[in-house]
Amino acid sequence: MSKNLIVLIFVLQIILMKNFLFTSIGKKFAMALSAIFLMIFLLQHFLINITSVFSESLFNWLSHFMGTNPLVQFILQPVLIAGVIFHFIMGFFLEIQNRRATKYEYHKDRGGANSTWMSRNMIWSGLVILSFLVLHFIDFWIPEMNHKYVEFLPDDPNRYHHELVEKFQDPYKVVFYCVSFVLLSLHLLHGFSSSLKSMGTNKSYASSVKNVSYAYSIGIPLGFCFIAIFHHFSH
């Protein structure tokens, strides 16, 4: 195949993809894709953080590996931040689109009759998660970036665990974190199955999707609550 033909196919694919993303289904598909990506991140984030409860050395080792690996730092981390921003912006777009659609009688939202509380309040649970993320970034991410890339402080592979424990000494913060995790759970209870539906999963898997969705959406936020409360009282 000639080089020009490959370039032409590539350009055509980009145009088709761009057009697809402007359709209603395209936007929902992109939203679902970003949600699945963030749920995979959340699972690995939880698995790393739960080690802090039973093994200080394993948590330090994992945090040091993630914090110094160039692939994680310069490729995965920027992709993750872009994914978070994309998910929130697209969420607002879809919310506005849904509100416009409900102006027409045939789409009228009849409250609990045709939707769940979680699905009608995704924007509110999303906003609480967004404000949690702002505090969480101020707590962990910004000091970490400052340590490594602004002040170039000495690299101590054993600092991560006691830094984490220190952050959970303020009881108000633990309460705010746990309230946010409850809303995260409600957000996931609708978002998990909804994103898989938008990706076109087979209907025959519906009951397995529901079970996994419940286990993930309740288990992960509950686990995060446990981590915060554990470190608050274990100090």
Q: Are 77 and 4 in contact (CB under 8 A)?
A: no
Q: Which residue is nearest to ligand HEM (CB)?
A: 140
CA distances from 235 to 53, 135, 163 (A): 12, 22, 12
The verdict on 80 binding ligand HEM (CB under 6 A) reads: yes
Contact with ligand HEM (CB under 6 A) among 30, 213, 227, 232: 227
The verdict on 183 binding ligand HEM (CB under 6 A) reads: no
The verdict on 128 binding ligand HEM (CB under 6 A) reads: no
* Nearest distance in Å: CB 136, ligand HEM: 5
Contact with ligand HEM (CB under 6 A) among 64, 67, 95, 123: 67
Total count of residues recorded for the chain: 235
* Nearest distance in Å: CB 140, ligand HEM: 4
Q: Are 46 and 224 in contact (CB under 8 A)?
A: yes
Distance between terminal CA atoms of the chain? 65
Print the binding letters for residues 18-57 with ligand HEM: x by CB under 6 A, - otherwise.
------------------------x--x---x--------
User: Which amino acid is it at 22?
Assistant: F
Q: Which helix (H) or strand (E) holds 211?
A: helix 206-234
* Nearest distance in Å: CB 94, ligand HEM: 19
Q: Are 94 and 27 in contact (CB under 8 A)?
A: yes
Q: Are 228 and 196 in contact (CB under 8 A)?
A: no
Contacting residues toward ligand HEM, per CB under 6 A: 42, 45, 49, 67, 77, 80, 84, 129, 136, 140-141, 144, 164, 184, 224, 227-228
